[in-house]
Amino acid sequence: MISRVETLLVDVPAIRPHRLSVATVNVQTLVLVHLVCDDGVEGWGEATTIGGLSYGEESPESIKVNIDRWMAPLLVGHDASQVARLMARLNRAVRGNHFAKCALETALMDAQARRLNIPLSELLGGRLHDELSVAWTLASGDTEKDITEAQSMLALRRHRIFKLKIGSRRPEEDVAHVLAVQRELGDSVSIRVDVNQAWSEYEAERSIALLEAGGIEAVEQPIDAANRAGLARLAQRFTIAIMADEALKSPLDALDLARGAAADVFSVKISPPGGLTAARRMADIAVLSGIALYGGTMLEGSVGTAASAHLFSTFPKLSFGSELFGPLLLTEDILREPLVYRDFMLQVPQGAGLGIAVDEEKVAALCRR
Q: In which band, very low, low, confident or very high, does the pLDDT at 337 lie, cut at 50, 70 and 90?
A: very high
Residue 23 has pLDDT above 80, yes or no: no
How many residues are listed for the chain in this entry? 369
Q: Give the model's pLDDT for residue 261.
A: 97
Q: What percent of the chain has pLDDT over 90?
A: 92
Q: Give the model's pLDDT for residue 24.
A: 82
SS3 24: strand
Per-residue pLDDT of 220-267, as tens digits, reads 999 999 999 999 999 999 999 999 999 999 999 999 999 999 999 999
One-letter-per-residue 3-state SS of 202-220: HHHHHHHHHHHHCCCCEEE
Residue from 88, 49, 46, 29 nearest 354 by CA: 46
Residue from 16, 14, 54, 10 nearest 31 by CA: 10
149 is catalytic: no
Q: Which residues pair with 266 in a beta bridge?
A: 244, 293
Per-residue pLDDT of 176-231, as tens digits, reads 999 999 999 998 899 999 999 999 999 999 999 999 999 999 999 999 999 999 99
Residue from 133, 109, 131, 128 nearest 314 by CA: 128
| Residue partners of 14: CB distance under 8 A and separation at least 6 | 25, 26, 27, 28, 329, 330, 331
Is the pTM of the predicted complex or chain greater than 0.75? yes
Q: Give the model's pLDDT for residue 19.
A: 78
- Domain 123-347 coded CATH 3.20.20.120: yes
Per-residue pLDDT of 93-136, as tens digits, reads 999 999 999 999 999 999 999 999 999 999 999 999 999 999 99
Q: In which band, very low, low, confident or very high, does the pLDDT at 66 lie, cut at 50, 70 and 90?
A: very high
Give the strands of the sheet with 292-295, arranged side by side. Answer: 135-138, 161-165, 190-194, 218-220, 241-244, 265-268, 292-295
Residue 151 has pLDDT above 90, yes or no: yes
SS3 365: helix
Q: Give the model's pLDDT for residue 56.
A: 81
Q: How far is CA 190 from CA 194, 223, 262, in A?
A: 13, 22, 23
> 320 exposed, middle or buried (CB, 10 Å; 0-12, 13-18, 19+)?
buried
DSSP states of 92-132 as a string?
HH--S-HHHHHHHHHHHHHHHHHHHTSBGGGGGT--S-SEE
Q: Which amino acid is at 47?
A: A
Q: Give the model's pLDDT for residue 4.
A: 97
163 is catalytic: no
Tell me the average pLDDT of the chain.
96
Q: Give the model's pLDDT for residue 18.
A: 81
Every domain of the chain and the residues it spans: 2-118+358-366, 123-347
Residue 304 has pLDDT above 80, yes or no: yes
| Residue partners of 52: CB distance under 8 A and separation at least 6 | 23, 59, 60
Q: In which band, very low, low, confident or very high, does the pLDDT at 54 lie, cut at 50, 70 and 90?
A: confident
Per-residue pLDDT of 260-302, as tens digits, reads 999 999 999 999 999 999 999 999 999 999 999 999 999 999 9
Measured N-to-C along each axis, helices 143-155 and 171-185 cross at an angle, to the nearest 10 degrees, of 30
| Residue partners of 65: CB distance under 8 A and separation at least 6 | none
Q: Hey, what CATH class is 2-118+358-366 in? A: alpha beta
SS3 199: coil
Residue 62 has pLDDT above 80, yes or no: yes
Is the separation of the CB atoms in 165 and 137 below 8 Å? yes
How many C-beta atoms surround the C-beta of residue 92 within 10 A? 9
Q: Taking residues 307-331, report their average pLDDT.
A: 97
Taken in order 180, 148, 189, 23, is the CA torsion positive or negative?
negative
Which region, left, alpha or beta, applies to residue 141 given φ > 0 means left and ψ of -120 to 50 means alpha?
Answer: left
Q: In which band, very low, low, confident or very high, does the pLDDT at 141 lie, cut at 50, 70 and 90?
A: confident
Q: One of 101, 165, 249, 269 is an active-site residue; which one?
A: 165
Q: Give the model's pLDDT for residue 55.
A: 81
- Range list of H helices, the chain: 60-66, 72-75, 83-93, 98-116, 143-155, 171-185, 201-213, 228-237, 251-259, 276-289, 302-312, 360-366
Q: Which amino acid is at 280?
A: R
CA 259 and chain centroid, separation: 24
Q: Which residues pair with 18 in a beta bridge?
A: 25
Residue 79 has pLDDT above 80, yes or no: yes
Q: Taking residues 39-56, report their average pLDDT.
A: 91
Phi then psi dihedrals of residue 161, to 5 deg: -115, 130
